[in-house]
Amino acid sequence: MYSIPTLEVTHKPNAIAVLTSGGDSPGMNPAIRGVVRAALNQDIRVVGIHKGYSGLITGDFEEMNSASVTNIVQRGGTLLKSDRCLAFKDPKVRKLGAEILADNQIDALVVIGGDGSLTGAHLLCRETGIPVIGLPGTIDNDIYGTEDTIGFDTAVNTALDAIDKIRDTALSHESLFLVEVMGRNSGFIATHVGIACGAEMIVVPEYEVKVDTICYQLAHNRQTGQGSSGIIVVAEGPIPGLTYSLAHQLEANGQAPKVCILGHIQRGGSPSGHDRVLASCLGASAVDYLCAGISDIMVGVQNGAICATPLAEVIAHKKALDPVLFQRALLLHK
Ligand code: ADP
Ligand code: F6P
């Protein structure tokens, strides 16, 4: 359970807008609900922006009431829809976004998304003065300033559900599987999934692993009676599908791997209980911070406590995969 800071209401906005941006993640809906319900509890008007920054710059808005977020806490995806809006990288377009907010009497914004979305949020706030709060919404868990992101837990469990099934057929046929999981350039999903599914090896972008090392590990498993089937969890890296090139290298070294790319199923599905609680608390806390006159921050969680980190700090750092955790993960397969 999270400890939640008590903040004094000193700068209550008249109207808060909320949007979801970038790759969607399971838990965005409970986060939206947290923002909407917490704001309405304070008699603040709430406006939902459709399709992320694309909807902001076209004024694609909807007035939200308590019923707007009924029956969404358990639903994957995002009620508000999401988008990637390259135009928002242009300061003139961000200025237009701020003007559209002002024209609609909206005086604060909550952005739920990954590092790109949080970059846009920070620039909008810094350049136009509109109070903006970011919430970490991504399955990748690659956001600095928070231990956990909305959707990570669900994505890990979705991947595990699939890999447990792959394990059955791998054992039956004594096959080796390379299972590619999402995570862009970070190995958080792969490491957690690898530990939890008992993978024979984990390949992540952060640490180089040689094909020889993988072959050695597989030979060692056979010699020690662990059988010749196996699961190697591979983080996708910069481009989905690179796992095929690892498979070719293994084939050249006498292995016969099969490749399974889990892909976008990891982004869907009903959010886990953990993600629902995290998202609800972060959504409601975003409103608390705005009402306390604090903005240009991301609300995240550290040591079990809801906390704020300046957006400038969040986007300036890359969250590192804990090397001790990764080494521990590898040791468990030996
Ligand atoms: P995520 O938020 O999941 O990391 P993206 O990196 O695709 O996903 O970013 C989502 C959106 O955030 C982009 O389409 C764009 O609208 C906005 N964004 C990303 N990077 C920047 C940037 N440098 N400046 C302003 N906006 C950005
Ligand atoms: O950032 C979330 C994420 O799901 C990454 O793990 C993945 O690399 C990327 O988005 C895929 O994005 P899309 O296929 O929607 O462009």
119 has a pLDDT exceeding 90? yes
Q: Provide the CATH number for the domain around residue 242.
A: 3.40.50.460
Longest CA pairwise span in the chain (Å):
71
pLDDT tens profile 28-86: 999 999 999 999 999 999 999 999 999 999 999 999 999 999 999 999 999 999 999 99
* CA neighbours closer than 13 Å in the CB half-sphere of residue 186: 19
Q: Within a domain: residue 325?
A: no
Cβ–Cβ < 8 Å for 204, 321: yes
Distance 316 CA to ligand 2 centre (A): 21
Q: Within a domain: residue 255?
A: yes
Distance 143 CA to ligand 1 centre (A): 13
Q: Give the ligand 1 atom nearest the CA of 114.
A: 2
102 and 223 housed in the same domain: no
69 and 40 housed in the same domain: yes
Q: What is the mean pLDDT of residues 299-316?
A: 98
What was the pLDDT predicted at 334? Answer: 66
Q: What is the mean pLDDT of residues 239-246?
A: 89
Residue 92 CA: which ligand is closest? 1
What was the pLDDT predicted at 1? Answer: 81
Q: Which two tokens stand for residue 177?
A: 């599987």
Q: Is 140 a catalytic residue?
A: yes
pLDDT tens profile 268-296: 999 999 999 999 999 999 999 999 999 99
Residues 6+ apart with CB under 8 A from 208: none
157 and 145 housed in the same domain: no
Q: Within a domain: residue 183?
A: yes
Cβ–Cβ < 8 Å for 194, 328: no
Query: Which residue segment(s) compose the domain that 103 sits in?
Result: 15-151+271-316
Q: How many domains does the chain have?
A: 2
What was the pLDDT predicted at 184? Answer: 87
53 and 141 housed in the same domain: yes
Residue nearest to atom 14 of ligand 1 (CA): 84
Q: Which residue has the tokens 């990764």?
A: 326
What amino acid occupies position 117? S
203 and 231 housed in the same domain: yes
Q: Within a domain: residue 324?
A: no
194 has a pLDDT exceeding 70? yes
167 and 263 housed in the same domain: yes
pLDDT mean across residues, the chain: 96
Q: Within a domain: residue 254?
A: yes
173 and 299 housed in the same domain: no
42 and 173 housed in the same domain: no
Cβ–Cβ < 8 Å for 155, 134: no
Q: Kindly state if the Cβ of 117 falls inside 6 Å of ligand 1.
A: yes
Q: Of 244, 267, 290, which residue is a domain's last?
A: 267
246 and 299 housed in the same domain: no
Mark residue 150 as left, alpha or beta (left: phi above 0; alpha: psi -120 to 50; beta: remaining): beta
Higher pLDDT, 128 or 218: 128
188 and 242 housed in the same domain: yes
Distance 186 CA to ligand 2 centre (A): 11
